[in-house]
Chain A
Amino acid sequence: MNQQMQKKPDWGLSYGELVWREFFKSRLNAACLIFIVFLFAVAVLAPFLANDKPFVIRIDGRLHFPIFANLSASDYSVFLAAIVGLTQLRLIRRNRRKIEPSIRSDVLWRQVTISIAVILIGTVSAFIFVPRRLDATDYKSMIVSGKASGAIFAPVPYGYGRTDLKSREQPPNREHWLGTDDVGSDVLCRLIHGSRISLSVGFVAVGISSVIGIIIGAILGYFGGGVDFAGMRIVEIMMAVPTFFLIITIVAFFPRSLLNIMIIIGITSWTEDARFIRAEFFRLRRQDFVRAAVSLGLPLRSILFRHMLPNGIAPVLVNATFGIAGAIFIESALSFLGFGVAPPTPSWGQMLSLGVSTTGRFLWWLTLFPGLAIFFTVLTYNLVGEGLRDAIDPRLRKAE
């Protein structure tokens, strides 16, 4: 008995695994995925990579841990999200080995729902309970003047909001590896913290737009007829309104914050997803397994989301990656025009706007590095999306 249990059960390859393998056949796709993982690592670990406070410092004989003491609510929620994400990935691997395919997708949905719930609850509690601390002590001068000793600083020992007018607009040098911006803040530090802004905008905005798009598309696609007719008018309205101006107008209504911008981008870009899901559901509606589910009397929620959706989600996933790239673009455009996050929050788009000074003097380090950052991020997401689409496509065609 034990020996049988230990033998790895042979269930064949699932849909997800097939796509996974096809995706990794290309080395370019693999490289892009690695880059994205690297970006995530930078975004999660930002306060440890670039911070003007040291990890540990000895003042008057006592040890202080300034970085840890001053972690903010958003830092904690990002850590939580990262941990939950990693756990979820491990669980997926475990599912593949331990759970049989027929119930695997149910289990997966349950796990994903729990993960998202944990992240949401954790984020909200973090913002409620973690106190806001302000610590602008100049630890570096304390070391220099001898009041403190034994300090270990982060690799980039600058804070993104700290100003230093004497060193403003300096090209890359030994103190500031990528130069400084218009008030003397270190560019590398702002680039690192800016990755958080860009990635979070991408994910949250796309998350929101996907959810809205899926729900609306599912309802329209499943019911068809009059519901579809009315619904498509609404979709057409959203599509016909120039989104950029809508965004600018709405941004003026709410106070400037990252969350508002994410939500606004999300609620203006759901139309593509809705159309995809609607088209998929049209097609799936006529298939046997759906008819069977209906005749079994399963609840609507279950039919739509447990049975039909997993089969139609492929184009949405592909669109999501392009959507992330698009959201990052929109956010940089907004910041570039002056409508983005409030200063001094680091945003790649805002840094880009400083690149050509008003004299026409080309501050190349303020153009090149943020530009490259946006460029590579968007590029890798687009390539991953393309790779995903290629990986999925032949599968679909072979299935038909």
Chain B
Amino acid sequence: MTTYIVRRLLLMIPTLLGITIMVFAISRIAPGDPVSLSMGPGGQLDAARAADVRKARMALYGLDKPVPVQYAKWLGRVVRLDFGDSIKHHRPVINIIKERLPITLTLNIIAFVLIYAISLPLGVLAAVKHKKLFDRASSVVLFMLWSLPSMWVGQMLIGYFCGPTFKSWFPPAGLSSNYAEQLAFFPWLTDRLWHLVLPVFCLTYSGFAYLTKQVRAGMLDNLRADYVRTARAKGLSNWVVVFRHAFRNSVIPVITIVATLLPAMLGGSVIIESIFSVPGMGLLAFEAVTTRDYNVVMAVATIGGVLNLIGLLLGDIAYAVVDPRISFESAE
């Protein structure tokens, strides 16, 4: 097992290199650069000086060297875990990410836990009551939830539940209220959670359908298998059969989905974060791309890539560990 993990970790390196090269190339080829941004209209610069200023500024950020050289320098710094400074915020990128990443992670992990907490029992129930009304009705409802565009739902929620138009149950934006700083820990936590309810809801509802389908499909497979029939024939009660036998085996593919769900969520939260003004990684990366803040873009891509790959690795390991039929070779 250790050799396998070590091998996979080593393999991550070329993959990461590939990701960073691709993102670097694209962001440099794309037109627009941060210097033009700061010299744009409103900069009101005298034409005679403008050219000099631009040259000086580009040199300041190291943008005047050829692209491969820039990449090599960046790589050299990253190996020492120095992601450079954000051109827009003039602060080390690491600090910015340290502020934003926990927020996105909190959002996604809570959503994650909720999705699993709801999908697992729902899927099991749907499989047990296969072809009955519950199964069919829940199937349709889940599909409908899956097909709802998140920006639509987000906007409607804000419109209806955050303001005087209809009900004022939730705060319209941000992570904490104005006076939050003055609260003790637990009231502060409650305030924070209150702000998170709607964004988490938007992230969660779409994940249900997919996961419930998987659980249901897995359960159906197992419920029809011979060993279940044997167990039933032996006289075991239905619940014992379902939970102690069928359920554990159908959980296997579900675990591997963990690996793919997390990166999908990190990307999907851009829209939610922008609608609800939550200062997370999604919004950070979005702003960085639009303002050509190269250092931040590369940092987000690298860290995102690392998280994704670790997720994939964990998924594969979990898969292999849980199902003894699978050896590490064929797990790839």
Judge whether B152 and A241 touch: CB under 8 Å: no
Tell me whether A333 and B271 are in contact in the complex, defined as CB-CB below 8 angstroms, given that A233-B14, A237-B19, A371-B149 are known contacts.
Answer: yes
Q: A236-B312, A249-B27 are in contact. Are A375 and B263 (CB under 8 A)?
A: no
A249 partner residues in chain B, CB cutoff 8 A:
23, 26-27, 30, 289, 297
Known: A248-B289, A337-B274, A374-B152. A239 touches B301 (CB 8 A): no
Contact at A233–B152, with CB atoms within 8 Å?
Answer: no
Contact B266 A382 (CB under 8 A): no
User: For the complex, would chain A's binding face be called helix, strand, loop or mixed by DSSP majority?
Assistant: helix
The docked-state distance in angstroms from the alpha carbon of A245 to that of B289 is: 8
Contacting pair B289 A360 (CB below 8 A) = no
Q: Tell whether A252 pairs with B30 under 8 Å between CB atoms, given A236-B312, A237-B19, A336-B271.
A: yes
> B52 → chain A, closest Cβ, in Å?
28
Contact indicator per residue, chain B 141-158, by CB within 8 Å of chain A (1) or not (0) = 001101111011001101
The verdict on B79 contacting chain A, using a C-beta distance below 8 Å, is no
Residue B270 contacts which of A244, A329, A356 (CB distance < 8 angstroms)?
A244
Partner of A353 from B148, B151, B300 at Cβ < 8 Å: B151
Contact of A242 among B163, B267, B332 (CB under 8 A): B267
- How many of chain B's residues touch chain A, expressed as a range? 35 or more
Chain B, 26-55, CB within 8 A of any chain A CB = 26-27, 29-32
Partner of B143, one of A233, A352, A386: A386
- A107-B226 Cα distance, complex, nearest whole Å: 42
Nearest-CB distance from A184 to chain B (Å)? 22
**Of B94-102, B118-126, B241-249, B302-310, the one with at least 4 CB within 8 A of chain A:** B302-310
Is A245 touching B165 in the complex (CB atoms < 8 A)?
no
Q: How far is the CB of A282 from chain B (nearest CB, A)?
A: 9
> A250 at interface (Cβ–Cβ under 8 A)?
yes
A355 at the interface (CB under 8 A from B): yes
Query: For residue B155, which residues in chain A have a CB less than 8 angstroms away from its CB?
Result: 352, 355-356, 367
- A188 within 8 Å of B (CB atoms): no
Given contacts A245-B286, A336-B271, contact A253 B149 (CB under 8 A): no
Bound-complex Cα distance A68 to B306 (A): 56
A350 to nearest B CB, angstroms?
A: 11
CB distance B15 to A250 under 8 Å?
Answer: no
Please give the distance in Å from B249's CB to the nearest CB on chain A: 17
Q: Does B109 contact A (CB under 8 A)?
A: no
Q: Are A245 and B308 in contact (CB under 8 A)?
A: no
B304 and A233 contacting across the interface, CB-CB below 8 Å: no
The answer to the question of B92 belonging to the interface, with a C-beta cut-off of 8 Å to chain A, is no
Residues of chain B lying within 8 A (CB to CB) of residue A240: 15, 19, 263, 304-305, 308-309, 312
A320 in the interface (beta carbon within 8 A)? no
Q: Does B87 contact A (CB under 8 A)?
A: no
In the bound complex, residues from chain A placing their C-beta under 8 Å from that of B19 are 237, 240-241
Q: A383 on the interface (CB 8 Å rule)? A: yes
Complex Cα gap A171–B147 (Å): 26
User: For B297, what are the chain A residues with a Cβ–Cβ distance below 8 Å?
Assistant: 245, 249
The proximity string for A residues 211-247 relative to B, scoring 1 for CB distances below 8 Å and 0 otherwise, is 0000000000000000000001110110111111110
B213 proximity list for chain A (CB < 8 A): 386
A244 to B290, CA, bound (A): 13
A236 to B213, CA, bound (A): 25
Distance, CA A184 to CA B289, complexed state (A): 33
**A293-322 with Cβ < 8 A to chain B:** none
Q: With A and B bound together, what is the CA distance between A371 and B151 in angstroms?
A: 9
User: With A and B bound together, what is the CA distance between A356 and B275 in angstroms?
Assistant: 11
- Most central of A232, A245, A349, A374 by chain B CB within 10 Å: A245
Interface 1/0 per residue, A22-42 and B, CB below 8 Å: 000000100000000000000
CA distance A367 to B274 in the complex (A): 18
Contacts of B156 in A (CB 8 A): 356, 362, 367
Expressed in whole angstroms, the Cα–Cα distance for A278 and B232 within the complex equals: 38
Indicate whether A200 reaches chain B with its CB closer than 8 angstroms: no
User: By the criterion CB–CB under 8 Å, are A233 and B267 in contact?
Assistant: no
CA of A384 to CA of B201, assembled, Å: 27
Q: Do the beta carbons of B143 and A232 come within 8 Å of each other?
A: no
Partner of B266, one of A242, A329, A353, A375: A242
- Minimum CB distance partner of A379 in chain B: B147
When chains A and B are docked, how far (Å) is the Cα of A252 from the Cα of B26?
Answer: 10
Of all chain B residues, which has the CB nearest A370?
B152
Contact A250–B26 (Cβ < 8 Å) = yes
Is B285 on the interface with A (CB-CB < 8 A)? yes
User: Is residue A284 within 8 Å, beta carbon to beta carbon, of the partner chain?
Assistant: no
Residues in chain A near residue B67, CB distance under 8 A: none
Q: List 21 A-B contacts (CB under 8 A).
A: A236-B309, A239-B312, A240-B263, A240-B304, A245-B300, A248-B286, A249-B26, A249-B297, A250-B26, A250-B30, A252-B31, A252-B32, A325-B147, A337-B274, A337-B286, A349-B149, A355-B155, A361-B165, A367-B152, A375-B144, A375-B152
Q: A234-B18, A336-B151 are in contact. List 14 more A-B contacts (CB 8 A).
A: A232-B332, A236-B309, A237-B22, A240-B19, A240-B308, A241-B22, A242-B304, A245-B301, A337-B270, A355-B155, A367-B156, A371-B149, A379-B147, A386-B143
